[in-house]
Amino acid sequence: METERLHKILAARGVASRRACEEIILAGRVSVDGRIIREVGTKVPPGADIRVDGRPLVQPRLAYYILNKPRGYVTTLSDDRGRKSVGDILKRLRTRVYPVGRLDVDTEGLLLVTNDGELTNILTHPKFKVEKTYLVTVRGRMEAEALATLRQGVRLKEAKVSAWVKVIRATRVTTRIELTISQGYNRQVRRMCVAVGHEVKRIERVRFGPLSVRGLPSGGFRMLTRQEVDSLKALSQGVVAAAVDPPAPPKKREVKVARRKRNTR
């Protein structure tokens, strides 16, 4: 009889990401056939009665959304400190979804949310090297030496990281750059810029893998198209997904106004 690891089953059912599911198991919140499980590596046979917090595990309808996170919102579904969160924006959704990765409170832009735990694991796992592109405004003019250092690699405490960088606009006061990375360390973009001598004024993530936030207003969200979902899943097979243009906005309805006939009498 083929068995499967419990945390993978939970993630596939949309409970949370694999890492979060491991924490849920360690906390003793999961039972299998009436027995509390606290070991992450536990394997479960097909048809087992799996419950989380006493509630049976069900197969949810998978949902995929893209959100343009505003600045000042934390990337959580709720916040015990009373701060604004992306959960406040998504509360209209009937399906419970979870952020893929994290944007810090002062970073705005593209955030993917889904209940597909397997896809979340793929998109956040370092080996798949999903590229993220940011528009970054820093203080001061970023000179050629700093740009070269970003491209060649900056030493952070986790690892040496590099970026693809292009200058969009530069003045004596500020520089605006487009920066692409394939890692996902905490506040990585800010720390890289500080490492080359530039304080960050604004960061906006405009692309995540093949997805673009173009056309989506701040605080807005929409469901992904089938083409966008397929392009994300292609990453798990080692396929470099081509950029997918966001769907065109619906055309405004044309309202025809009938002309009044003149009274010729």
Q: How far apart are CA 129 and CA 188, in angstroms?
A: 15
CA-wise closest residue to 52 among 32, 71, 82, 77: 32
**Separation of first and last alpha carbons in the chain:** 91
Please give the radius of gyration of the chain, using alpha carbons only, rounded to the nearest integer: 23
CA torsion, ordered 101, 75, 99, 23, to nearest 10 deg: 80
Q: Assign 86 to helix, strand or coil.
A: helix
Q: How far apart are CA 120 and CA 205, in angstroms?
A: 18
What residue has token string 């820093």? 138
What residue has token string 């959304």? 65
80 catalytically annotated? no
Enclosing H/E stretch for 68: strand 64-69
Which one of 104, 106, 116, 245 is the catalytic residue? 104
Q: How far apart are CA 151 and CA 74, in angstroms?
A: 29
Write out the catalytic residue numbers.
104
